[in-house]
Structure 1
Amino acid sequence: MSLGQQVAANIPFLRRYARALTGSQATGDAFVRATLEAVLADQELKRSLDGGRIPLYRAFNKVWSSAYLQIDAESDAVGEHELGAQHRLGAITPLNRQALLLTTLEDFSSAQAGQIMDLEANEIEALVSEAVSEIDAEQATKVLIIEDEPLISMQLEDLVTSLGHDIYGTAATRTQAQKLVAEGTPGLVLADIQLADGSSGLDAVDDILDIAEVPVIFITAYPERLLTGDRTEPTYLVTKPFEESTVRAAIGQALFFGSSKPLG
């Protein structure tokens, strides 16, 4: 497989990570584009990508970290704009959540995540533990589950309640979801893509977003099909079959940005 083919195969998953990291499709995709531009401009960096997925994420992390430092430097000198800069800093995903996303959403080992973030494996493990504690302490919300597989729906219910959240309701079809949101608005939505009657979870979520701005996590067996960058797409995607730790991380990140305006 050529270098171009290797990078192309991993780009959808890097987009997934970038969007979860920034809380925004537009901002996440912009960081991925900046990473590819940096690779094209640096032959040594380009050659390093021949090692597969880890070097690509490592290159992305360097772009991400330098952007963070630039914002931090600006915040010390902007005067009247300092408050705005500090608000942007507050919306940047901290290191512990980066480590959690890499080891759950992206399924890297602690050692691999350490290579990406220039940290030791034990430091990654400590960051992940810290992030999990933060998520466990997050303010409770009401969660709507849109899922047509009863066992998966029950699994998600158990996970959501174990995190201290309430179940707003469960729906197996777009119509059922419409009826539930007609009675009020959930604080978070977990949605499958393909529903029981052939309806689309994407359409069901669009119905909800027409009423209110709610964080949404999509759960699908084929995330790469929704991560082309060609159109408006989900910010948070979890792959089926999923690990509960992955859903936990996605919920924590969605609520992290749900309480403040994300970058971009």
Structure 2
Amino acid sequence: MDAPNQGGDVTSKVAQELPYLRRYARALTGSQQSGDHYAAATLEAILQDMSAVKGASGVRVGLFKAFHQIWVTSGAPIDEADVGAATEAQTQRRLASLTQNTREALLLHSIEGFTAAEVGEIVGVDESEANDLIGIARNEMAQAMKGRIMIIEDEAIIAMDISGIVEGMGHDVTGIARTRDQAVELARKAPPELILADIQLADKSSGIDAVTHILEEMGEVPVVFITAFPERLLTGERPEPAFLITKPYTEDQVQSAVSQAMFFASTETLKAG
């Protein structure tokens, strides 16, 4: 009688963690479409054989470990259909210059909150090597490209905090907008190379709508969305962000998300409506 209950419990836990697997997969690929494809493939594999999840130290670790096995087996490609031929070639060159498993280790640790021991279990190394990978990733991140970043955030203290974080990374902040209209106007005056946008703004306008309007005028620009309710934007049922961090955030999460978004010259974003 125990096995069916255990199986149902595992399935329920996998379902709870699936939105966050989508977030991780999207950040790795720079694309909602590709990220969700890998997440779906992982879910299919688990449904066929739950042993990998059940044999891990926890269901969440097992889920991400199953994803990693599929990811590395595929060669961790960046799809030209998602980013375009020129961007795809540029991205592949950047990938080739990075130490293996460093991006994965950093995202798992900083964005998804896994311990170094859990990161090691997921990517197949010991805890010490996982710590080394995270450290290498931070060093490589510090040497990454710098750019002009616009912040769309209605809470002054949070906006100042985010501004200080990205300036500390070497980026230039073009300005801070509190509403949709302010964001559109600011983008016209000082076109950004990356946008950090809260979802809900002061006048009840939407950061999503602001970004959509800006991208319609400017073309594609990497975007990192910030929200207190990530589950609502990680369903896989509609156009959703490729890069997403959760309030309350940490400095490490902002740094990692910005670096991953800047890593790609373009990114999928939400459509209006």
- 8 Å CA contact 1:3–1:50 kept in 2: the answer is no
Aligned match for 1:249, one of 236, 250, 256? 256
Q: Distance in 1 between matches of 2:266 and 2:178?
A: 28
Write the letter of the residue equivalent to 1:32: A
The aligned residue for residue 52 of structure 2 is 45
Q: Secondary structure at the match of 1:144?
A: strand
CA distance in 2, matches of 1:184, 1:241: 28
CA contact (8 A) 2:87 2:265 kept: no
- TM-score, normalised to structure 1's length? 0.87
Runs of 4 or more consecutive aligned structure 1 residues displaced over 3 Å after TM superposition:
45-51, 83-94
Mapped to 2, the partners of 1:224 and 1:149 lie a distance apart of 22
Partner Cα distance (1:227, 1:154) in 2? 27
Task: Give 1:77's aligned residue.
Answer: none
Q: Any conservation in 2 of the 1:91–1:257 contact (CA below 8 Å)? A: no
Larger CA deviation: 46-55 vs 239-248: 46-55
Pick aligned residue for 2:241 from 218, 229, 234:
234
Question: Which aligned pairs between 1:1-264 and structure 2 lie closer than 5 A?
Answer: 2-45=9-52, 47-48=54-55, 51-68=58-75, 89-90=92-93, 94-211=100-217, 212-258=219-265
After superposition, what is the alpha-carbon deviation per residue over 1:57-105, rounded to whole angstroms, capped at 9, x for unaligned? 0111111011017x6xxxxxxxxxxx99977754758411110000000
Question: C-alpha displacement at 1:7, in angstroms?
Answer: 1.0
SS in 1 for 2:189: coil
One-letter identity of the residue aligned with 1:220: T
Deviation of 1:2 (Å) = 2.3
> Offset at 1:116?
0.5
Task: Please tell me the residue identity of whatever aligns with 2:189.
Answer: E
Distance 1:181 1:259 in 2: 17
Question: Is the Cα contact below 8 Å between 1:3 and 1:49 reproduced in 2?
Answer: no
Aligned residue for 2:111, secondary structure, equals coil
Distance in 1 (alpha carbons) for counterparts of 2:138 and 2:88: 27
Distance 1:46 1:163, change over 3 A: closer
Secondary structure of the 1:2 match is: helix
Structure 2: distance between partners of 1:160 and 1:50:
35
Mean CA deviation greater in 106-115 or 135-144: 135-144
Task: Name structure 1 gaps, 5 residues minimum.
Answer: 72-82
Q: Which amino acid aligns with 2:119?
A: A
- What CA distance in whole angstroms lies between the structure 2 residues aligned with 1:171 and 1:209? 16
Supply the distance in 2 between the matched residues of 1:86 and 1:98 (Cα, whole angstroms). 20
Residue correspondences, number: 249
Q: Mind listing any 5+ residue stretches in structure 2 that lack a counterpart?
A: 1-7, 78-85, 269-273
- Percent identical: 44
Cα deviation code 1:108-165 (max 9, x no counterpart) = 0100100101111111111111111112112221100000010000001111110011
Amino acid across the alignment from 2:9: S
Q: CA deviation at 1:9?
A: 0.4
CA distance in 2: counterparts of 1:68 and 1:176, whole angstroms:
43
Q: CA 1:185/1:101 → structure 2, altered by over 3 Å: closer, same or farther?
A: same
Provide the alpha-carbon RMSD of the alignment. 2.4
TM-score (ref. length: structure 2): 0.85
Residue pair 2:53, 2:61 contacting (<8 A) in 1 also: no
How far off is 1:224 after superposition? 0.8
Identify which range, 251-260 or 107-116, moves more after superposition: 251-260
* 1:169-190 residue CA offsets vs partner (Å, 9 max, x unmatched): 1100001001111224200100
